Amino acid sequence: MELEFTKDETAFRDEVRNFIETEMPKDVAFKMAHDRELEKEDFIKVHRKLYEKGWATAHWPKEYGGADWTPVQRHIFGEEMQRASLPMPLEFNANMVGPVIAHFGSKEQKEKFLQPTASLEIWWGQGFSEPGAGSDLASLKTTAVRDGNEYIINGQKTWTTLGHFADWIFCLVRTDPTAKKQKGISFILVDMKTPGIEVRPIITVEGNHEVNEVFFDNVRVPAENLVGEENRGWDYAKFLLSNERFGIAKIGVAKQRMQRIKSYAKTPDANGEKLWDDAVFRARFLQTAADIKALEITQLRILAKQQGHDSDAPDPLTSMLKIKGSELQQATTELLLEVAGKDSESPQIREIYKSGNQDFEWLDAVASSYFNNRKLSIYGGSNEIQHNILSKAIMGF
């Protein structure tokens, strides 16, 4: 048993930390650290810097720009990015479509897409969920019908995160309506400028535009844009989702938020009183901190296992990270909202900080972050789906 990183791993962590400190845009980190919405340019600024360093796609096969990182290195990179309040390389590009094209794409697709995908010259959207296909993704209905050298796509995708920034979208479409559920699905790449595509915003509870509906009305796509074999799309989607396991618990984000909660709670109010001095509040804070510490070690245990076996197979224990990780993220946004109290809604306070008083600046996005983060236990396979996975894989029910 050994808790410490190796010498090499520590050196790597220092390298990452140093790079972040010297090269990363401070304004983006400030926004993220205060739970504010990022602009398209913010994502691009961070991603490009990482791309130039060779770290945006470090986990890709080496011949396509990968850096041959161990699972522990990948973990360290994620932790350091979260610790510094920076967005990870755009996941649709780096973790989803990129690895799929690298593993299953044609030579032409690799040549055309991999480099601009890695550099974020192409911004990808994810076209998986549909109004009738959420947790039950395989029941998707969007069709692609072969017509000569083209597919004609009809249907609707939804929850397309940052789809309004997307240049291209990778979609799961039904190519064989007679086959059983998972069997008739294909994986296809679509240029968002193609006639017949319409993107409509979905405004989420906090009032922001983050997700979209994407409508396909007789959208003609060259047949060469189909990835791999027709009707094998479900396999590629499963491969893609196995890449999601890294950093799913977002411990670094939770820890960073706990630090903020603590420092705000220690700030005296108008009466000179601090929430930090309230024993009930502090007990809740300490309980949450203990839970986060436990999850951090759970994550390291899973990581150490992967490092030892170097396997790409999804570990069902990752479902545990998803469940507890999202719960703890939500617990921290809830604590933050409690620290802010009713002031988080006060227009008066907003006026004060807009006039340059930074003492109250942090209140800005506290409530919207709480609202928005309820998504964590819903997306990426809802926590109930994760319970089903553990129930089957570990408990043997």
CA atoms within 13 A on the CB side of 208: 18
Closest to 377 in 3D by CA, of 331, 340, 344, 335: 331
Taking the complex as a whole, the smallest distance from the CB of residue 390 to another protein amounts, in Å, to: 5
Site for another protein in 19-78 (CB under 8 A): 72
Report whether 377 contacts 330 (CB < 8 A): yes
For residues 154 and 388, which CB has a smaller minimum distance to another protein in the complex? Answer: 388
CA atoms within 13 A on the CB side of 223: 9
For residues 28 and 275, which CB has a smaller minimum distance to another protein in the complex? Answer: 275
From residue 361, give the alpha-carbon distance in Å to each of 54, 227, 366: 35, 47, 10
Q: Is 202 in the site for another protein (CB under 8 A)?
A: no
Q: Is 300 in the site for another protein (CB under 8 A)?
A: yes
Candidates 51-59, 212-220, 317-325, 331-339; binding stretch for another protein (CB under 8 A): 317-325
Q: Is 259 in the site for another protein (CB under 8 A)?
A: yes
Among 49, 262, 274, 374, binds another protein (CB under 8 A): 262
* Encoded tokens for 320: 């545990």
Distance in angstroms (rounded) separating the CA atoms of residues 358 and 363: 10
Candidates 17-25, 99-107, 189-197, 305-313; binding stretch for another protein (CB under 8 A): 305-313
* Encoded tokens for 227: 């990835």
270 φ, ψ to 5°?
A: -60, -25
Taking the complex as a whole, the smallest distance from the CB of residue 235 to another protein amounts, in Å, to: 27
Candidates 121-129, 199-207, 284-292, 329-337; binding stretch for another protein (CB under 8 A): 284-292
Q: Is 384 in the site for another protein (CB under 8 A)?
A: yes
Distance in angstroms (rounded) separating the CA atoms of residues 317 and 302: 7
Among 112, 282, 350, 374, binds another protein (CB under 8 A): 282
For residues 136 and 229, which CB has a smaller minimum distance to another protein in the complex? Answer: 136
Q: Is 253 in the site for another protein (CB under 8 A)?
A: no
Q: Is 10 in the site for another protein (CB under 8 A)?
A: no
Taking the complex as a whole, the smallest distance from the CB of residue 287 to another protein amounts, in Å, to: 7
Q: Is 301 in the site for another protein (CB under 8 A)?
A: yes
Taking the complex as a whole, the smallest distance from the CB of residue 176 to another protein amounts, in Å, to: 31
| 3-state SS class at 267 | coil
Distance in angstroms (rounded) separating the CA atoms of residues 238 and 217: 27
Candidates 86-94, 106-114, 152-160, 281-289; binding stretch for another protein (CB under 8 A): 281-289
Rounded to the nearest angstrom, the gap between the alpha carbon of residue 109 and the centroid of all alpha carbons in its chain is 25
CA atoms within 13 A on the CB side of 41: 2
Q: Is 280 in the site for another protein (CB under 8 A)?
A: no
**Hey, which residues does 45 pair with through a beta bridge?**
none
Q: Is 5 in the site for another protein (CB under 8 A)?
A: yes
Taking the complex as a whole, the smallest distance from the CB of residue 317 to another protein amounts, in Å, to: 8
Q: Is 303 in the site for another protein (CB under 8 A)?
A: yes
Among 121, 290, 309, 345, binds another protein (CB under 8 A): 290
For residues 72 and 339, which CB has a smaller minimum distance to another protein in the complex? Answer: 72
Angle in degrees, CA 105, 111, 115, rounded to 5: 100
Rounded to the nearest angstrom, the gap between the alpha carbon of residue 2 and the centroid of all alpha carbons in its chain is 30
Distance in angstroms (rounded) separating the CA atoms of residues 376 and 225: 32
**Which runs of consecutive H residues, i.e. helices, occur in 183-312?**
233-242, 251-265, 279-309
Among 47, 164, 255, 375, binds another protein (CB under 8 A): 255
Among 15, 235, 291, 315, binds another protein (CB under 8 A): 291
Distance in angstroms (rounded) separating the CA atoms of residues 183 and 170: 18
Distance in angstroms (rounded) separating the CA atoms of residues 265 and 336: 9
Among 11, 179, 203, 283, binds another protein (CB under 8 A): 283
From residue 241, give the alpha-carbon distance in Å to each of 125, 226, 236, 306, 314: 15, 19, 9, 17, 9
Taking the complex as a whole, the smallest distance from the CB of residue 21 to another protein amounts, in Å, to: 19
Q: Is 324 in the site for another protein (CB under 8 A)?
A: yes
Q: Cα-atom radius of gyration of the chain, to the nearest Å? A: 22
Residues that bind another protein (CB under 8 A): 1-6, 9, 72, 255, 258-259, 262, 282-283, 286-287, 289-291, 293-298, 300-301, 303-305, 307-308, 317, 320, 323-324, 384, 387-388, 390-391, 394-397
